[in-house]
Structure 1
Amino acid sequence: MISSHLTQKTWLHLIPTSVKLFLLSSITYSSIFITSLSNAVIMLSMSFLIYLSLGRQARGKLIDLIKSFGTLVFLIAILQCVFIPISFVALTSIKMFSLILLADLISISTPLSELKKIILKILTPFKFLGANINRISLTMTLSLRLIRVYIALWAKLDTSLQARMMRKKNTNKKIKTNNFKIKKLVIPFLFNSQHLTLKMAEALQARSKK
C-alpha cells in the first residue's frame, strides 16, 4: 500500500518536501474544477512525463501502478458506465488515476522521516496543549503516503453507493450531483480511512519498540 522510496536520487528529490506537499494539495483541489476531458488528459500526460523523467526505477514503479491501480480504476469505470454517461466516467477516471500517480510521486521521492519532520514543525504549538504530536505526526504522515489508497477507497464507496441507489426510483439525477455523493460518502470514507491509518501507525510504533 505504501510505495518504496527510490534508491536513486533524481531531480524530484531536490525539491523541498514542503513545496511538493503544497503543489500536491493545490493540484488535488484544482482538479475539482477540471470539467474538460482534454484538460484531464493533459494532467495525466504530465504525470506520465514526470515518471519517465525519473529514470528506470521510476518507470518500473509506473508500470506497477498501471497494472494495479490502473486496472482497478478501469474496472470501476466499467461499473460506473451502467449508471452515468461514459464521458463523465472517462473524466473522473482520468482525474482519479492522475492524482494517484502524483501522490505516489511524493511517496517515492520523499523519505517517511522527511514527511514526519515537516508535520512535526506544523504541530509544535499543540505540544503545549498536551497533545502527543509524535503520534499525531506519524498518523498524518501515513495519511500522506496512503493518498492513492484513499482515492481508491473513495472510488469503491462511490461505486457501491450508485449501485445501491439505482435500485430506488427517481434517484438518477440526484445521484449525479457531487453534493449528494459527498454527503453520503464522507462518513464511511472518514471511518474507513481513519481505521486504516491508525492500524498502520500502531503497527509501525509496535515495530519500532522491538
Structure 2
Amino acid sequence: MTFADLLDRARALMTSERAILGICGPPGSGKSTLAQRLANALGNSAQHVGMDGFHLARSELDRLGRTPRKGAPDTFDAHGYVHLLERLKPKRGNAIVYAPVFRRDLEEPIACAVPIGPDIRLVITEGNYLLLPDSPWNTIRTLLDETWFLAPEENQRREWLTKRHQAHGRTPEEAAERTMGSDERNAVLINATASAADLVVHTPLED
C-alpha cells in the first residue's frame, strides 16, 4: 500500500459532514508522522489532533505514583479525550474548538494549542489506545468514521522508538530500557487491539 492509496482513502471520508479518522498503533509505529503527512497533503480542510495531548502532567503523575509507567492507559485523561472527540463531531456552528498538544521537548501537554475551525472537514487523530475495549476508551471507536492500525515489523519499530528516545535527550542505555520496558508492555496491549481496525497498514509506506 502506498501513501497515495491512504490519501485517497482519507479524501473519501471528506463529505459535507465533518469526519474523524483515527490512526492507532504501538509506540514508535509512525502514527504522528502519518497523521501529519496526511494533514499536510489535505491542506486547510484537515487537522491533526494527537491523543498524546491528554497525557497527565508530570506533577499529577508524580502525585499518583505513575511516572515510571508514563504512557500506560491510566496515565492519560481518557475522559477528556473522549469529550474532545464528542465536541468535534459533528461540526456545530462557527466556534473554534481547541485541542491540546504534547511537547516531547518538555515532556508535558500544552492546552489550547491546536485550533479546529468550522472549515475543518477531516480531523485526523492518532494515539495508542483508540481501540482499547476498556471504558472509557471503548467510546472512542464509536466516534471515529474509520480507524487504521499501523503495524510495522516489530524489531524495526523498536529501533525507531529507541532512536526517538535518544533524540529527545535519553542516553542509549536509558532509551533501550524505556523501549523494552514500559513501552514494550504497552505495545503488547495495543497490538492485541489491531483486529478491531478497519485497515491494518504495514509500514514503512511506499511513496
* Structure (1 or 2) with the larger CA radius of gyration: 1
Relative to the length of structure 2, the TM-score reads: 0.27
TM-score by length of 1: 0.27
Return the structure number with greater relative CO, CA threshold 8 A, min gap 6. Answer: 2
